[in-house]
Amino acid sequence: MDSRIANSSASDAAVVSQIGAVRSSIDRNEFFAGLFFLGCVNGIATRAIAVVQREGWLDAAIGMFDVSAIVLAACASGLWLRCAARSDR
């Protein structure tokens, strides 16, 4: 049991060092762009998967996965604006 505790603290230290490495390698704008992208994918994926199962890949792609062009444009422009923002803010 003591060996698991010792190993868990060593693995916790490794996780903390990995988080620190990722934190120093990504800037704030990239981080928020990633979060924005994750939110867009989360909102669109369920509808797109349902349409693919119902209609097939080709029909779903032609119908833009049953997602409004306005929503797709908003996601694309939001990502572009977040990535294009100045990093010194």
- Please list the pLDDT of the chain residue by residue as tens digits (89 residues): 545 555 556 667 676 677 666 667 888 888 888 899 999 999 899 888 999 999 999 998 888 888 888 988 999 998 898 888 755 45
pLDDT value at position 88? Answer: 47
pLDDT value at position 33? Answer: 87
pLDDT value at position 52? Answer: 92
- Overall pTM > 0.75: no
Cα–Cα distance measured from residue 75 to residue 67, given in angstroms and rounded to the nearest whole number:
11
b/e map 5-29, b = 16+ CB within 10 Å:
eeeeeeeeeeeeeeeeeeeeeeeeb
Pair of tokens at residue 56:
């097939």
Pair of tokens at residue 65:
């996965």
pLDDT value at position 34? Answer: 87
